[in-house]
Amino acid sequence: MSLDIITSPVLEPVRHAFFGRAGGASSGVFAGLNCGQGSTDQAEAVTINRRRVAEAMGVPAEALVGVNQVHSADVVVVEGPLATRPRADALVTRVPGLALSVLTADCQPVLFADAEAGVIGAAHAGWKGTLGGVLEATVAAMERLGARTNRIHAAIGPTISQRAYEVGPEFMDQILAEDPRAARHFASGKGDRLLFDLPGYGLQRLRQAGLGEAAWTRHCTYSMADRFFSYRRSVHAREADYGRLIAAIRL
C-alpha cells in the first residue's frame, strides 16, 4: 500500500508532507504508518515506517529529525542530524537536506516556510503548547535565522476538529484566563459540555503573529479512523495505546 501524503498549497514550492496512517508496517492498534518511537509498538516496525517517510522526503533516515515532545514552547535550531532527541516541541533550520518532523495524534502538526530566505520550521501544537506560545516561538526562531514574519507561510495538518473536541467548562476557564481572545473558538455542546476549535485557535494565533499566509488542511483525525491515528478516539475505544502521525518539511 502506498503512503497517504497530504500537502498544502500555502507551503509550495517547499517540499513537505502530512502523512496519514496508510502504507506502514505496524499492526494491531498501530496498524499502518506509526512513527511514534515512544509508543509500545514494535521498534522494528517503527524503524521501517520512519525509513519509508525519510525515503518519501528524499533524505537518509538519519536526516529525518525530531524532538522529544513535551507540550512546551521550546524550539530547537537544527544544524545536522541529532544524536539524541532534545526535549522541545518545535524545530527550525536553514540547512538543506534535513527533514524536520513532528508527531501528532489529534494535536496540530504545523509546518512553516520562508521560501525566499530558505528557512523552515515544524511545531507540535496541542492546546497547551498553542496557549503557551509554541507557534510564536517558532516564528521568532525562524526570524533569528533570517526569515521575515510577513514572508512566512504556515500550514496546519490533520488535527482534531471542533465537532469532535468536547471539553468541560474548567478547560474553557483555563484557556480564557490566559487568552481571552480564544473565547470565539468555543461552542455549546450537550449539557455543560463545550466544543473547542483547536485549528481555528491555531490559525488565530498564527495570523495575529503577522504571518504572510496560514491555512488548515481541514482533515479531522478523530472522525477519519481509516486514515488517521487519534489519541482521543483510542481513549473512547479503551485501547491500550495509539499510533502517531508524522509531518515533515525540508529544504
Q: What is the pLDDT of residues 202-245, one digit of tens each?
A: 999 999 999 989 999 999 999 999 999 999 999 999 999 999 99
Residue pLDDT, tens place only, 169-190: 999 999 999 999 999 999 999 9
β-bridge mates for residue 93, sequence order: 120
d(CA 101, CA 83): 15
d(CA 191, CA 4): 38
Tally helices (H) and strands (E) across the chain. 6, 14
Listed by start position, the domains of the chain span: 5-161+198-250, 162-196
Name, in order, each residue with C-beta under 8 angstroms of 181's C-beta and a sequence gap of 6 or more: 204, 208
d(CA 251, CA 239): 38
d(CA 240, CA 248): 27
d(CA 66, CA 121): 11
User: For residues 230 and 245, is the Cβ–Cβ distance under 8 A?
Assistant: no
- The x, y and z cell numbers of residue 231, run together, are 489519541
Angle at 57 between CA 63 and CA 34, to 5 degrees: 85
pLDDT of residue 228: 98
- The x, y and z cell numbers of residue 165, run together, are 473536541
Residue pLDDT, tens place only, 1-53: 799 999 999 999 999 999 999 999 999 999 999 999 989 999 999 999 999 99
DSSP class of 26: B
Residue pLDDT, tens place only, 42-82: 999 999 999 999 999 999 999 999 999 999 999 999 999 99
d(CA 176, CA 201): 12
pTM above 0.85, yes or no: yes
CATH, domain range 5-161+198-250: 3.60.140.10
